[in-house]
Amino acid sequence: MNRRPSFPARLPASQPVATRRPATRTPVPAGAAPAPSGIGLDSGAVRARMVHKLAAQGITDRRVLAAMGEVPRHAFVDSALVNQAYEDTSLPIGLGQTISKPNVVARMIELLLGGECDAKGLLGRVLEIGTGCGYQAAVLARVAREVYSIERLRGLHEKARENLRPLRIPNVHLLFGDGMLGFPKGAPYAGIIAAAGGEDLPPCWIEQLAPGGRIVAPTLMPTGAQALVVLEKTPAGLKRSVLEAVHFVPLKSGIA
Ligand code: SAH
C-alpha cells in the first residue's frame, strides 16, 4: 500500500501539537483541490513550468520534483505576491522573514533525501526548524511519513496553520517553540532541516538525529558567509560536508 499522503486528506481528530485549536471544517468537497485564487484556474500548468525549470537547474530526484509540482505555492504567499509565487525568487512572508526560492527548497529536500528512506522512498520522521508560512512543511509532507515543524514567531506559526488548514495534510505537526532546542518528543528524526542559519549546528539536533539520518542546515562559516552544511550520522561517525553559499534569515533563540 502506498502510504504517501494525497491532497486533500482529512485532518486527524488530534495531533501532538501544543497549540492545536479544533480544526474548522472548510466546505471543500472530498477529492477537490482548494480553488487557486488570483492566479487563474491553471496553477498546475504554472507549477509544471516551475518543475521543468528546477530539473533544468539540476534537481534530479523525482520525489522532490513530484512534490514541488503538487504543493500550491501561491496558497502560502500574500495575495499581492501570488503572481510571483512560481518564480525562482524568495518572497517576504511577514515579520521580516522570507520563503526561500523554489530552487533552494528543492535542493535542500533533495539533500535530506540522501539519508535513509524506506522501501517506498519515503523518509521517516522529519523535523523542520522555521515553519515560516508552512510551504516547505507541505513539500516535506510529500516525501516523509511525519513532519514536525517548529516556529519561534507566534504570528507565523498561526499563519502557517491558516495556510495549511485547507490543504488538510494529516502528517504535518506544527509546533510553537524554539527550534534551537529541537523537539525531543519526536526524536529520533530521519532528517532535520533548518530554514534559518545559525553559527553552528546545535548539539541537540545531532543527538535527536537517528542513525543513517541527515541534517541539512544553512550555517555561518568563519568568513561570516553562510553555506549549506550536511551532517550525516553514519556507522563510522559523523560526516560533515560544506556545500554552496546560501542566504537565509538568522536562526534566533527564544520565542516571540
Ligand atoms: N520554511 C519556511 C521558511 C521560513 S523563513 C517556509 O517555507 O516558509 C525561516 C523561519 O525560521 C522564520 O519564520 C523564523 O522565524 C524561523 N526561525 C528562526 N529561528 C528559529 C528558531 N530558533 N526556532 C524556530 N524557528 C526559527
Domain membership flag for residue 83: no
- Do the domain assignments include residue 190? yes
The domain that contains 240 carries what CATH number?
Answer: 3.40.50.150
Check 6, 90, 100, 149 and give the catalytic one. Answer: 100
Q: Are 244 and 223 in contact (CB under 8 A)?
A: no
Task: Give the three cell numbers for residue 91.
Answer: 518572497
Report CA(92)–ligand 1 centroid distance (Å). 12
Is the pLDDT reported for residue 10 higher than 70?
Answer: no
How far is C-alpha 221 from the geometric centre of its chain's CA atoms? Answer: 23
Mean pLDDT of 4-28: 40
The tens digit of pLDDT for each residue in 61-106 reads: 999 999 999 999 999 999 999 999 999 999 999 999 999 999 999 9
User: Looking at residue 68, what is its pLDDT?
Assistant: 98
Instruction: Show the domain range for 146.
Output: 94-246
**If you average pLDDT over every residue of the chain, what do you get?**
88
> pLDDT-derived band of residue 57, with 50, 70 and 90 as boundaries?
very high
CA gap 150, 141 in Å, rounded = 14
Report how many domains make up the chain.
1
Residue 31 has pLDDT above 60, yes or no: no
Q: Is there an atom of ligand 1 within 6 Å of 192 CB?
A: no
Examine residue 40 and state whether it is found in any structural domain, yes or no. no
**pLDDT beyond 70 at 32:** no
The answer, yes or no, to whether residue 38 has pLDDT greater than 90, is: no
Predicted confidence at residue 40, as pLDDT, reads 55
Query: What does the alpha-carbon distance between residue 128 and residue 175 come to, in Å, rounded to a whole number?
Result: 10
Cα–chain center distance at 75: 15
Cell numbers 539519508 correspond to: 115
